[in-house]
Amino acid sequence: MTIRFDGRVAIVTGGGNGLGRNHCLQLAARGAKVVVNDLGGSVDGTGGSISAAESVAEEIRKAGGEAISNGADITKLEQVEAMVADAKAKWGRVDILINNAGILRDKSFAKMTMDDFKKVVDVHLFGTANCTKAVWETMREQNYGRIMLTSSASGIYGNFGQANYGAAKTAMLGMMNVLHHEGAKNNIRINTLAPTAATRMLDGLFPEAVAALMGPELVTPGVLYLVSEDAPSKTILGAGAGCFSVVHVYETPAVFLGGAGATVDDVAANWSKISNPAGETSLDGAFGQTGKFAAAAAAALGVELKS
């Protein structure tokens, strides 16, 4: 099977460099019409220039594809809405949104200013929300949409000096989980990427031998699958060095400790049982946890639950 994107219109934020550039080029090579969005700032989010986005768009056009560049600041909803309007004016629709743009302002939490915390969260979380909101109604009307959010192992697993970045990146999981349910009836599928690659955002952090294995182009095949017609939904895909994995969030079985009579001492005494991973499962939604706890309590108390 050969996956193609003929007739599809894609918006890629942060498309002027690194991962985003490769996402744009590989989408276009498979037939997509691409909006290359990039504010063109530095890694810490300062400055701006349309040149990086235009360079990628021109590269696509020279190869026979269709692309336009866009310099919208994704933290400003009105600019994002104008970008979506431009795409629809030119091509009539928006099928794919890849939320890739990001910045870094790394410091230990003790030394980090709240301005730096807020700026990173604004770009990653609110920027992603702005772009997703701007395409949401169009995708509902089309009964078709593929949206990718970009998370990070720094958020999922933690990394020193990145409380701001980690908080914003882990927020992608919550956003995906909710929008998966809200978009399902309109054939909108939403997934999250957790990539690792040798890009300018991580310049100098990898040993040379490791960096040689971590080209950003090696992540993009997974991205294209997540925004393809037959994509899954509510999936966290790890990707790097040509390797791919799926990340799951699991919950251990419910341990009933007596209801209203339970105390903190009971929790402490049963901690090894509560935290035992045997029998852990991945839940489909928030009420899955509610149902699990209610069923365990009812079984312990001999209460019959009516459906």
Of 202, 226, 247, the last residue of a domain is 247
- 123 and 200, same structural domain? yes
- 64 and 33, same structural domain? yes
CB atoms near residue 109 (< 10 Å)? 11
- 163 and 284, same structural domain? no
Q: Is residue 30 part of a domain?
A: yes
- 156 and 17, same structural domain? yes
Of 247, 275, 292, the last residue of a domain is 247
Provide the number of structural domains found in the chain: 2
Q: Is residue 211 part of a domain?
A: yes
- 61 and 124, same structural domain? yes
- 132 and 73, same structural domain? yes
- 167 and 69, same structural domain? yes
Q: Is residue 45 part of a domain?
A: yes
pLDDT, residue 201, reads 56
pLDDT, residue 197, reads 81
pLDDT, residue 212, reads 77
State the residue for tokens 């049963």. Answer: 270
pTM: 0.93
pLDDT, residue 215, reads 84
Token reading at 144: 């078709």
Of 247, 267, 293, the last residue of a domain is 247
Q: Is residue 252 part of a domain?
A: no
- 102 and 172, same structural domain? yes
pLDDT, residue 49, reads 75
- 171 and 126, same structural domain? yes
In angstroms, the CA 132 to CA 149 distance is: 9
- 115 and 241, same structural domain? yes
- 275 and 231, same structural domain? no
In angstroms, the CA 280 to CA 156 distance is: 18
- 183 and 266, same structural domain? no
Q: Is residue 4 part of a domain?
A: no
Q: Is residue 253 part of a domain?
A: no
Q: Is residue 226 part of a domain?
A: yes
Encode 48-63: b = buried (16+ Cβ within 10 Å), e = exposed.
eebebbbbbbebbeee
Ordered strands of the 67-70 beta sheet: 67-70, 33-37, 9-13, 96-98, 145-150, 188-195, 236-240, 243-247
pLDDT, residue 206, reads 57
Hey, which residues are catalytic here? 165
pLDDT mean for each 10 residues of the chain (307 residues): 96 96 98 96 68 97 98 97 98 98 94 97 98 98 98 92 96 98 98 83 62 85 98 96 94 94 96 97 89 88 83
**Residue 226 · residue 146 · CB < 8 Å:** yes
CATH number at residue 228: 3.40.50.720
Q: Is residue 184 part of a domain?
A: yes
Token reading at 261: 């009579």
Which residues constitute the domain of residue 222?
A: 9-247
